[in-house]
Chain A
């Protein structure tokens, strides 16, 4: 390959990389916005912030909903070790899509809030909540 062709190829590669840099920068921006959205949602107790990696116990703490209530909403017994697993594991054991499981939980939390007729307390970060726990009614049927 002659020098001219090499230089041309190099220039094309360079332009391509510049475009990729712009694309990567846009990606950083998008990721930052997603984070802001998710973080604000989680803080405000938005049920859309539930993720497949969460366990029922975590969801209970994040959304101030009794753990037993959530377990019964997805038909898990109190003694079932599944209640300590991630939603992803629970869904695969129950052989159903994880999105459906999440949607069931979202619905249960919304129902619980309506029954409580209380304004949802804005969620604090978990370590804050663990230091200053709030009393949660335990015996409410879904």
Chain B
């Protein structure tokens, strides 16, 4: 067949080329691409003009693709509608057709582009599918022309350069294309098989089932990522706030490996975390990263949503927000989606790759302003303060003396609560060295969390009480005079709620650097990142306790503002879950009075 077409090409020239490429692009099982290789080779021998060949090939392919798209539009759409409504074909459920269409819509651009020059065999079917799914024509045309430009240049160029060997050169690209397609299918099947095994395991352990309760209360799904303890704290705080009226399920949709990797990297490769934070903190990279994560995790998210059947979704981590939004869009009935923004001074731009969530809960005025700048609709934006776990509100100062005595400490001495950094790098060793260097009797409650190495290192050390991971940490923090550690949003917030000044001794520079400004702006504590300044501050604090009480007024003012702002959370959620929330949610925002 091929020599025949090549002879036709050589005999009848450009019109023959145009016709064959056109018919091939519509979807006929002939290779128009091969003729472009041959055309390139003939051009090398002076029988054709290469530039003219390019335009002839391009126009024929684009027009053929467009005809395929139009055919899909005409014939495919009614077919899809029928498939989505029929009940006769049991192996094609309407839900799977809907899911498949949504899946295609998300990847259509890439699929159109790649099928023009790489996996050519899929070109025809993809044109039909794009038309049938009413994929926007302008987008189709854009991806089609972009791909076809490459689809013309590559074979013509290769044919021209390797003239006498163009046949063998085209065989390589054909074999490579088959390899690419086979790899894609194999990867897809690997993911499906892995997920099946995983879901089977989950079913056995009942992990997901535990999250489902047959209560009559509407279920709210809180999606978290265990990369950093702060996000879980935030989810637990929201859970405590909402569980009176709703059933709240907290689920981490990511693999356990993500948590293990984050813990490992934050202890040993802080520079890497800083680098990746900065590198992705721009709209393009943020979108790219979210797109990738959504691509990788879509099935998992869909599975969770199907299992839990939430009436509302809240995410407390940027890395799960985009995928959650996409999975939600794919559901037959979309539910309201809420983003609980996390940091205090500035959040990562991955939070704003989705701009159409139903509500954005901003913990501070600074984040509220940033979200506005990033194009989030003011009607969807709510200033709700930082949600805090109940234990931090219920722990009183009156327990301080008893707690310190139980720890074997002298209540009259300066006590520092030091976040050792179960996850994250709090630089505990450096701070302890700075405290010891003062030579003053300062007591340390060292929270080591899950960091067993740190625990072993300081267990039994004089004036240091090591505290392994405990869910009820608030009484220990409340017993101290100063809370010190990494300037995470969670730690700062918990400190001001306990009316304790916060001493920032370490940061993940890119992520938590802006939080330092927040501490200084609202006079919530001190920032001492260097051992020398830490030593000086500890000396001053030990000798002049009035420095601590000086901070109290501003801390209490911020706490009062935050607690007042927190009231807004329930109002927002209630309105989103009330029937016809679309009308009521757009009530003008009631701004909470600014803290003094």
Contacts and interface: CB of A to CB of B under 8 A. Distances in A.
Interface of A: 3, 6-7, 10-11, 13-14, 17-18, 20-21, 23-25, 27-28, 30-32, 34-35, 37-39, 42, 49, 51-55, 57-58, 61-62, 85-86, 88-89, 98, 123, 125-127, 130
20 contacts: A3-B200, A7-B200, A14-B189, A14-B192, A24-B175, A27-B179, A28-B175, A35-B165, A35-B168, A38-B167, A49-B164, A51-B164, A53-B6, A55-B10, A58-B164, A86-B3, A86-B7, A125-B161, A125-B162, A127-B163
A52 B3 contact: yes
A140 to B, nearest CB: 23
A85 B7 contact: yes
Nearest to B3: A88
A88 B7 contact: yes
A51 B167 contact: yes
B164 A126 contact: yes
Contact of A27 (B10, B160, B175, B190): B175
Interface of B: 3-4, 6-7, 10-11, 38, 41, 44-47, 160-165, 167-169, 171-172, 174-176, 178-179, 182-183, 185-186, 189-190, 192-193, 196-197, 200
Contact of B10 (A28, A39, A86): A86
A42 B46 CA distance: 18
A18 B190 CA distance: 9
A24 B168 contact: no
A88 B168 contact: no
A53 B164 CA distance: 10
Contacts of B44: 125-127
A54 B165 CA distance: 11
A120 B518 CA distance: 81
A96 B164 CA distance: 23
B193 A38 contact: no
B163 A125 contact: yes
A31 B164 contact: no
Given A28-B175, A28-B179, A53 B3 contact: yes
Given A125-B44, A130-B46, A35 B178 contact: no
A38 B175 contact: no
Nearest to A81: B11
Contact of B171 (A34, A55, A130): A34
Main secondary structure of the interface of B (DSSP, over half): helix
B19 to A, nearest CB: 18
Nearest to B174: A31
A38 B38 contact: no
A21 B171 contact: no
Contacts of B186: 14, 17-18, 20-21
B242 to A, nearest CB: 35
A4 B190 CA distance: 17
A125 B193 CA distance: 50
Nearest to B164: A42
A51 B213 CA distance: 72
A26 to B, nearest CB: 9
B30 to A, nearest CB: 16
A31 B162 contact: no
B178 A24 contact: yes
A35 B172 contact: yes
A86 to B, nearest CB: 5
B171 A35 contact: yes
Contacts of A24: 175, 178-179, 182-183
A38 B168 contact: yes
Main secondary structure of the interface of A (DSSP, over half): helix
B122 to A, nearest CB: 15
Contacts of A27: 175, 178-179
A49 B165 CA distance: 8
A13 B7 contact: no
Contacts of A62: 164
A32 B111 CA distance: 27
Given A86-B7, A125-B161, A126-B164, A28 B176 contact: yes
Contacts of A126: 44-46, 163-164
Nearest to A6: B196
Contact of A14 (B169, B176, B179, B193): B193
A53 B314 CA distance: 64
Given A24-B183, A27-B178, 6 more contacts: A7-B193, A21-B183, A31-B171, A51-B164, A53-B3, A53-B38
Contacts of B6: 53, 86, 88
Residue among B4, B41, B189 facing the most chain A CB atoms (10 A cut-off)? B189
Contacts of A85: 7, 10-11
A15 to B, nearest CB: 9
Contacts of B164: 38-39, 42, 49, 51, 54, 58, 62, 123, 125-126
Contacts of A38: 164-165, 167-168
Contacts of B192: 10, 14
A53 B246 CA distance: 74
A89 B7 contact: yes
B182 A20 contact: yes
Contacts of A6: 196
B11 A89 contact: yes
B45 A61 contact: yes
Contacts of B161: 125
B133 to A, nearest CB: 26
